Structure 1
Amino acid sequence: MTFTPEIGQMVSGAAWSPTPTPDYVTDGLERLDAAYAQRREANVNPHARTSNYGGSIETDTFTVTAYCWCDGERSGHEDGCPPNFSHPASGFNATWYKHARRGQSCNRPITEDEWATIEADCLTAIAALEPAYVVLITGSREFGLDVFDRKRLLPDWKTVPSPQRDAMVAAFRSARDRAGSRPLVIRHGAAAGADSLAGALAFNAGVITDVWPALWRRPDGDAGTGYDLELARQMKNVYDSSKPYRREAGPERNSAMVAAGADECLAFLAIGAGNRGTRHCASAASRAGIPVTLVEA
């Protein structure tokens, strides 16, 4: 069977080959993407590369890159952008259009057994990589409010005088030093105050964030029990006062973040605030064996 490219592939600089990519290869590429995210990104965006969220995997064994949108405008891409998957030892390459499972082709035929061997080789390479260094953030909703106008960052939020922001920056730099060569991941609960400031600082520094919102309301109206991360992320920006308010959602979320494990916990206490939830989460982390640093400002 010969691969038929989409019109966009034919008129742009998108690379393609005459051989269609088998489904078992596509399935395997998604597994590799997810395995890498689990190892290096604390499972944030497990299909970032194959779903076109950007980023790349670069090892001595193989590479995976998200679709390139340059349409041949970049130097060296005039005759097609680099393959989205490359395994030099076998000489096998695969390319897709915009995202995996769309416009996929490969440079030569490949059997399922050969792909299984290649995938195993790639998984071994992923397992050899240093794991992510996860920093669990907990903090007062009053921490860092001086760089926000309600929920929006001030235009000069990085330079306006703010002892609390400066204290968080210093704490992050210390965590970065402790992480060494491991990729840093900032895990926070998406609340106002310390969580929002941590997310802004991480984004500004190009650091991965792992967001765990509290599940304040369930879509079915049932108060429910237990934390559901995917549901919480879906409900983060949904407000429906007709659904029961779950007072336990904050502590429930904190317990789930602690149970997920972390290399350390930074707890940001606002001077003059109650800091009850912050101390609860920090205590839970300490009991779980996670090193805790209290930062008061």
Structure 2
Amino acid sequence: MMEAYQPEIGQAAFGQPWQAHAVPAIMEAALAAIREEHDRIWWNCMQGECPSPFSNSGSRANFKSPIFEVCAYSWNDDEQPYNFAWRDLRISWYKHCGRGTSSNIPVTPDMAAQCLDECLDWLRRLEPAHNGDDYSAFKSCHPNISPTAQGGA
């Protein structure tokens, strides 16, 4: 049986909205693996530190692909409906991925595994090793990063 989510005090008082269900450890591990792969590919493309969409780095780090979307935690007064989206799954967190993590639907182990497989497959297809020296596919998923700020070939 899936647990109902109970926000931490700071999140309840000051944070963005949360979802109804607690995220199980298997999905948190999947998100951590997706983050690591995203950040590794960022380094390969940009040759610099990643303003990760999984952290408290602002909207310039947001990542959007046809498979999944990741939005950095927002400090704005505007309501942020989620931080991670894949299919019908929406996950929210407080300040950074792994803290105060909740979902709109119960997450099963099979769902977490399928999400992980699809997201990693998509990221790896964006990597320049699979596209020659063309970094544009990965960069296009970061619409708020200016071309002059992007490194790589």
SS in 2 for 1:37: helix
Which of 49, 52, 61 pairs up with 2:53? 49
1:15 and 2:21 correspond: no
Which of 28, 32, 35 pairs up with 1:33? 35
1:11-32 CA-to-partner distances (Å, cap 9, x unmatched) read 3360201211111111111111
CA contact (8 A) 1:40 1:131 kept: no
More moved, 36-45 vs 17-26 = 36-45
SS in 2 for 1:38: helix
| Equivalence map 1:1-297=2 (5 Å) | 1-12=3-14, 14-42=16-44, 44-45=48-49, 48-54=52-58, 55-70=61-76, 73-74=77-78, 77=79, 81-88=80-87, 91-131=88-128, 181=136, 205-207=148-150
CA contact (8 A) 1:33 1:46 kept: no
SS in 2 for 1:128: helix
**Residues 114/181 of structure 1: CA separation in 2 closer, same or farther (3 Å cut):** closer
State the shift of 1:116 in Å: 0.2
> TM-score if structure 1 supplies the norm length?
0.41
State the shift of 1:61 in Å: 0.5
Bigger fraction of residues in helix: 2
CA contact (8 A) 2:15 2:94 kept: no
**Alignment coverage as a number of residue pairs:** 138
SS in 2 for 1:14: coil
Which protein shows a greater Rg?
A: 1
Identity %: 28
State the shift of 1:38 in Å: 2.0
CA contact (8 A) 2:127 2:135 kept: no
CA contact (8 A) 1:35 1:46 kept: no
CA contact (8 A) 2:4 2:20 kept: yes
2:36 is aligned with what amino acid? A
Q: Distance in 2 between matches of 1:118 and 1:4?
A: 24
> TM-score if structure 2 supplies the norm length?
0.74
State the shift of 1:66 in Å: 1.3
Q: Which runs of 5+ in 2 are unaligned?
A: 140-145
Moved over 6 A (4+): none
In structure 1, the residue matched to 2:142 is: none
1:94-115 CA-to-partner distances (Å, cap 9, x unmatched) read 1100012211111111111221
In structure 2, the residue matched to 1:136 is: none
1:36-86 CA-to-partner distances (Å, cap 9, x unmatched) read 22223327546823232341221101011211111xx23xx2xxx031110
SS in 1 for 2:91: strand
